[in-house]
Amino acid sequence: MNAENGGTITLLIADDHPVVRDGLRGILEPADGFTVLGEASGGTEAVEMTLRMDPDVVLMDLRMSAGSGVEAIAELTRRGARARVLVLTTFDTDSDTLPAIEAGATGYLLKDALRDELFAAIRAAAEGRTVLSPAVASRLVTAVRSPAVPPVDDTLSAREVQVLEQVARGASNREIARRLFISEATVKTHLIHIYGKLDARDRAAAVAVAYQRGILG
């Protein structure tokens, strides 16, 4: 963290809005312990400047016209840049929150953060500590608790419905295979998918759920 350079933390500001860049520089330059090495107006430029100037921390906006923030972060990670990236955005509901963190961002802060919060976050990021705004933190926890959260598709495919119809008639897997001109292995595969989609433990429960949902009957 370049602590040997007078104990100051070197920074790069990456944001495509001049007003924001100026605002950040205006806040950081007068403060003790921060040195702004430069400003980038796009992702691509941010990568180039970071590699060249080697700042301790990059303050990165995610929505930029010339190269997205997430791609820039990923590129820096890939290149093994020493700089920590602290994401600074307007929205905490941004769909890029998780991708940014996955790409390698050390922290994620909202632009409406208080001055002292910003200072603390930059120092934390410089030390490699993760800093997240409360809203982002809770979203992260939720995302981790229900991994991937692919909004599980409940809908049975046409083939699965055909299999289930046979099951409701009391057909064995072998009979279903014969009637649908497929192998028993395939029938079993369909059934396991059906159990998963209907949250059923066996064919009897699957038939019950199917009737309750109007899939059968």
Partner DNA sequence: AGGGGGATCAACCGATCGGTTGATCCCCCT
Cα 139 to Cα 24: distance, rounded to the nearest angstrom: 26
Q: Which of 185, 199, 211, 213 binds DNA (CB under 7 A)?
A: 185
CB of 169 to a copy of itself, least distance (A): 6
Site string for a copy of itself, 176-205 (x = CB under 8 A): ------------------------xxxxxx
198 CB burial (10 A radius; 0-12, 13-18, 19+) = buried
Q: Which of 169, 174, 185, 193 binds a copy of itself (CB under 8 A)?
A: 169
**Interaction of residue 58 with a copy of itself, rule CB under 8 A:** no
Q: Of a copy of itself, DNA, none, which one does residue 148 interact with (CB within 5 to 8 Å by kind)?
A: none
**Interaction of residue 149 with DNA, rule CB under 7 A:** no
Cα 57 to Cα 122: distance, rounded to the nearest angstrom: 7
**Interaction of residue 207 with a copy of itself, rule CB under 8 A:** yes
Q: Which is nearer to a copy of itself, 53 or 161 (CB)?
A: 161
Name residue 10's beta-bridge partners.
Answer: 35
Q: Of DNA, a copy of itself, none, which one does residue 120 interact with (CB within 5 to 8 Å by kind)?
A: none
**Interaction of residue 213 with a copy of itself, rule CB under 8 A:** no
**Interaction of residue 191 with DNA, rule CB under 7 A:** yes
Which residues of the shown chain bind DNA in the complex (CB under 7 A)?
150, 153, 157-160, 172-174, 177, 180, 182-186, 188-192, 195, 201-204
Which residues of the shown chain bind a copy of itself in the complex (CB under 8 A)?
167-170, 172, 200-208, 211-212, 216-217
